[in-house]
Structures are given as structure tokens and as C-alpha cells.
Amino acid sequence: MSDVSNIRPIGNRILVKLIEPETVTDGGIILPEQHKAKRNKATIVALGNGCMQVNGWWLPWGYKVGDTIMLVNYAGIELGDDHLIVTHDDVVAVVN
């Protein structure tokens, strides 16, 4: 699925675009296929409403559209080759 412009996540879900892992190290060494990192870095494309607490208050997101985040391995629902829908629990870090 290449066109995700009509997808709007709901609740605590996030639409992300995966970032290809590096194939060359900083020193210029080309990495073979088996040593490449897993695709667990992504850019946020769209955010759902957020997480509602038991008392009815909404928890604010700790990130925004356009941020780069790190995900747990094997997270989310695949939408084509480069997009995922993940939950906020799948996000482990924001990359600055």
C-alpha cells in the first residue's frame, strides 16, 4: 500500500513510515545483508486521538508528527513495504 494519505489512526495508534537502516558504517565499511540492523526506526506520519485514562482525561503524546522514533522489534500492522500502524506502547524512544 503506497498511498496512506487516506488512513487516520484512532485511539492510541500511530501511523509511521519506516526508515531504511544504514548499509555503510561511518568508517565506510559496507555491511553484508545478515549484519544490517532491523528496521526499527521510523518517522511519525499521523497520530490518533491519544490514550484516555480511567478518569476521562487524555494523556498527551510525548512526540509529534515528523518526529523520528525507535520501535520495538516486530511492532505493528504492516501497510505495504514501508508503513506501519503501531500503538504508543511500541515506541521506546524519540531520536533527536
Domain positions in the chain: 13-95
Q: Residue 53 gets which letter from DSSP? A: -
In this prediction, residue 51 has a pLDDT band, given cuts at 50, 70 and 90, of confident
C-alpha span between 94 and 76 (Å, rounded) = 17
Residue recorded with cell 510525548: 62
Q: Is the pLDDT of residue 38 over 90?
A: no
Instruction: Give the pLDDT of residue 34.
Output: 65
Average pLDDT on 67-78 reads 92
Q: Is the pLDDT of residue 20 over 70?
A: yes
What fold does the segment set 13-95 form as a domain? 10 Kd Chaperonin, Protein Cpn10; Chain O (2.30.33)
Answer with the residue of higher pLDDT: 51 or 79. Answer: 79
Mean of the per-residue pLDDT values of the chain: 86
